[in-house]
Amino acid sequence: MADTTTRVKLQWGVLNTVVVVFALIPVLWIMSLSFKTPATLTDGKFIPREWTLENYRNIFDTDQFVRALVNSIGIALIATVIAVVLGTMAAYAIARLDFPGKRLLVGVALLIAMFPQVSLVSPLFEIERQLGLFDTWPGLILPYITFALPLAIYTLSAFFKQVPWDLEKAAKMDGATQGQAFRRVIAPLAAPGVFTTAILVFIFCWNDFLFAISLTSTERSRTVPVALSFFTGESQFEDPTGAICAAAVVITVPIILFVLFFQRRIVSGLTSGAVKG
Amino acid sequence: MADIVLDKVSKKFPDGTIAVRDVDLEIADGEFVILVGPSGCGKSTTLNMIAGLEDISSGELRIGGERVNDKAPRDRDIAMVFQSYALYPNMTVRENMAFPLQLAKLDKKTINQKVEEAAKVLELTPLLDRRPANLSGGQRQRVAMGRAIVRKPKAFLMDEPLSNLDAKLRVQMRTVVSRLQKRLGTTTVYVTHDQTEAMTLGDRVVIMRGGAVQQVGPPQELYDNPHNLFVAGFIGSPSMNFLPAAIEESRLRTALGDVPIGDRIRRELSRADAPRELILGIRPEHFEDAELIDEETRRRGIVFEAPVDIVESMGSDKYVYLTVEGERATAAELEELAADAGAADFTGVGSHLVTRLSAESTVTEGQNRRVWFNLEKIHLFNPADGRNLTLREGRAAGALAD
Ligand SMILES: Nc1ncnc2c1ncn2[C@@H]1O[C@H](COP(=O)(O)OP(=O)(O)O)[C@@H](O)[C@H]1O
Ligand SMILES: [Mg+2]
């Protein structure tokens, strides 16, 4: 008995290590490159022989990168907030209410999520140019919300279904209106779901390249993934690899901060103790 | 505080299920009424309609004389205790209990004072700052009760509040609930599928089956004078024994011997639509060891002999299981009772007769024993509609009544 559990643990341990190493090595490699000097860039060593912060200094010196960072943060945050708020309301309705067309709504949401985004790029480009949304923040926020919503609705309705129905009834008996029951009882319990969804949506917006490159043309609204692709060296002959790596490291930081910040709130078992003995 | 009146209240769900049909019930101010029945009989639906959590399909609900069909739960001023307790897990015990008061916009000082008061009554004071996750089942149950009593509502509704507790705690909490209700004097509707709870708690018991009320009355009344087969089989533990009884001239032929019948029953049986067979019902305590009874008592019943299967000595008396030959009684009501999980100990239609004899009886397992039963206490039921034929003006009169 004990034998098998140790073996199972060992097997999982090995498997986990392999997966983590597989995922982390490229990231560590990029980090290592970002600290190397141009001369040692291609020496193939994992640990840089000469450490330098030159690459970081360079990217923050250029207006191009800083501006893109601001765009990225602004656009991703606004899109996340709107998508999560709308998604919360829709998911609550789907989880709690029986209304005509509910299945259709869920189906359409799923369809949007599966629709190939590439095929929408040119129409969106035309539409946004006509409406004057091209190369503006709303021009990116709108499609992000559209594609993030199905994801948000899906994850959130799964969470709402876990909140015991009795709690809402109890709140109503205690004298709460529908709105009060939602705000004071249901929403706090669905919070882990809201934060999980927020993380997923934020990552989706933060990482997007396709819409960002097609629907922007200047620094006004260009986001970091796109700005990165426009990186060139100071002069034509300079290799931009170091700078690109430094920028790549910099843009992972907000994601890590975002996840760490919300992870503390994703306390599993938050609903325990609500029902049963 | 207020009275609650249900006037022909029915509930039809959108999918066509009729969960409650034409329920008439008048619950007096301060009364403790129990709704009891097997699971799925519409108890919770009835309670939820009183609460306002379910719409009423037809009929009228009046609380304190006022029609409340279209009022939201929050405007009915009723508190409810749920089977699942439904405590808010993100709030402490104190916050849970303060929640209804906060919504009623009371000031902080009053809220605190009321919460402390309720906590004292339910012995929750040391737990006030814990969260529900850190409480035992019994403690959670008390918090749920506390949240209900804290704002002194017009009525309490409780939906199987004790069914998630273990047996010992359940008995303990039963007395807590009973004492609390008496002390507060608040009108209470209590749902349970446990007949022991129904018998011990309420002023009056409402027995439901398939969405319809079967009988309403004080527990003893239901026990002594069941209007039909279902009520007879549901109330009592161990349950009433049921045997088929074939009608023959002026007597009934049963596995326990021939049972004479009085004029009243005979008149019933001479009607055109009279059944050809009846179901005889006897409660365990209406049997006695034939050796222990005097001549006069013996004349009020009949004696039969049967092999003794099991003897369970309880100290105060003996439960003796007798083997009886012959067919079993069959009726839709009895099958339903046997199938219901809430009446898992339903022994009414087994091949055994459950009898409760005096402790002095020298009965032993394996022997053939002469046992007497009281003819004045037996019930005769029509298997077709379950009606109790021995009732006269609502009282059971036995088989011999004129
Ligand atoms: N929302 C619903 N839709 C359809 N049928 C329901 C619904 N809720 C309950 N029922 C049915 O109504 C009947 C009574 O249910 P309920 O009142 O919960 O029974 P009880 O509380 O006595 O066990 C059951 O047959 C149940 O299946
Ligand atoms: Mg129920």
- Residue B255, domain CATH: 2.40.50.140
DSSP string, B41-61: SSHHHHHHHHHTSS--SEEEE
Confidence band for A235, pLDDT divided at 50, 70 and 90:
low
On whether both B214 and B331 belong to a single domain, the answer is no
Q: Is the pLDDT of residue A277 over 50?
A: no
Neighbour-count burial of B387, counting CB atoms closer than 10 A to its CB (0-12 exposed, 13-18 middle, 19+ buried): middle
Mean pLDDT, to the nearest integer, of A162-171?
A: 90
Angle at A259 (CA atoms; ends A258, A265), nearest 5 degrees: 105
Summary mean pLDDT of chain A: 86
Mean pLDDT, to the nearest integer, of A28-33?
A: 90
In this complex, the residue of A177, A269, A276 whose CB is nearest that of residue B74 is: A177
Contact criterion met (CB below 8 Å) for B252 and B269? no
DSSP string, B200-211: HH-SEEEEEETT
The sign of the torsion formed by the CA atoms of B265, B270, B271, B272 equals: positive
- Please write the tens of the pLDDT for every residue from B327-343: 888 888 888 888 875 55
Q: Is the pLDDT of residue A276 over 50?
A: no
For each of chain B's 402 residues, which pLDDT tens digit applies? Answer: 689 999 999 999 999 999 999 999 999 999 999 999 998 999 999 999 999 999 999 999 999 999 999 999 999 999 999 999 999 998 999 999 999 999 999 999 999 999 999 999 999 999 999 999 999 999 999 999 999 999 899 999 999 999 989 989 999 999 999 999 999 999 999 999 888 999 999 999 999 999 999 999 999 999 999 999 999 999 998 899 999 999 887 789 999 999 988 888 888 888 767 788 899 999 999 999 999 999 999 988 999 999 999 999 999 999 999 998 888 888 888 888 888 755 556 776 767 899 999 999 999 999 999 999 999 999 999 999 999 988 887 787 777 776
Q: Do B88 and A167 touch (CB under 8 A)?
A: yes
On whether both B60 and B154 belong to a single domain, the answer is yes
**Residue A77 CB-half CA count within 13 A:** 8
Domain end point (choices B171, B193, B228): B228
Q: How far is the CA of B14 from the centre of ligand 1 (A)?
A: 12
CATH superfamily of the A58-273 domain: MetI-like (1.10.3720.10)
B157 in a structural domain: yes
On whether both B248 and B221 belong to a single domain, the answer is no
The tokens describing A237, both together, are 């002959």
- Please write the tens of the pLDDT for every residue from B287-326: 999 999 999 999 889 999 999 999 999 999 999 999 988 8
On whether both B150 and B196 belong to a single domain, the answer is yes
Is the CB–ligand 1 distance for residue B17 below 6 Å? yes
Cα distance between residue B139 and residue B397, in whole Å: 47
On whether both B207 and B351 belong to a single domain, the answer is no
Domain end point (choices B228, B263, B282): B228
What is the pLDDT at residue A269?
43
Q: Is the pLDDT of residue A232 over 80?
A: no
B401 in a structural domain: no
Pocket probe mutation, ligand 1, options B13, B158, B160, max atoms within 8 Å of Cβ:
B13
On whether both B318 and B278 belong to a single domain, the answer is yes
B250 in a structural domain: yes
B402 in a structural domain: no
On whether both B123 and B173 belong to a single domain, the answer is yes
Contact criterion met (CB below 8 Å) for A62 and A244? no
Residue B247, SS3 per DSSP: strand
Residue ranges per domain, chain A? 1-52, 58-273
On whether both B248 and B170 belong to a single domain, the answer is no
The tokens describing A164, both together, are 């015991």
What is the pLDDT at residue A256?
85
Confidence band for A115, pLDDT divided at 50, 70 and 90:
confident
On whether both B163 and B262 belong to a single domain, the answer is no
On whether both B148 and B271 belong to a single domain, the answer is no
Residue A189, min C-alpha distance to chain B (Å): 7
B20 in a structural domain: yes
CB atoms within 10 A of CB B297: 12
On whether both B120 and B234 belong to a single domain, the answer is no
| ipTM of the complex model | 0.84
Residue A165, min C-alpha distance to chain B (Å): 9
Dihedral pair phi/psi, residue B244, rounded to 5°: -70, 145
On whether both B274 and B142 belong to a single domain, the answer is no
Q: Can you give the CATH number for the domain in which B118 is found?
A: 3.40.50.300
Is the CB–ligand 1 distance for residue B351 below 6 Å? no
Confidence band for A275, pLDDT divided at 50, 70 and 90:
low
What is the pLDDT at residue A155?
86
Number of independent structural domains in chain B: 2
Say whether residue A185 is in contact with chain B using an 8 A CB cutoff: yes
- Find all residues with CB under 8 Å of A29, minimum gap 6, and list them: A46
Domain hosting B29: range is: 4-228
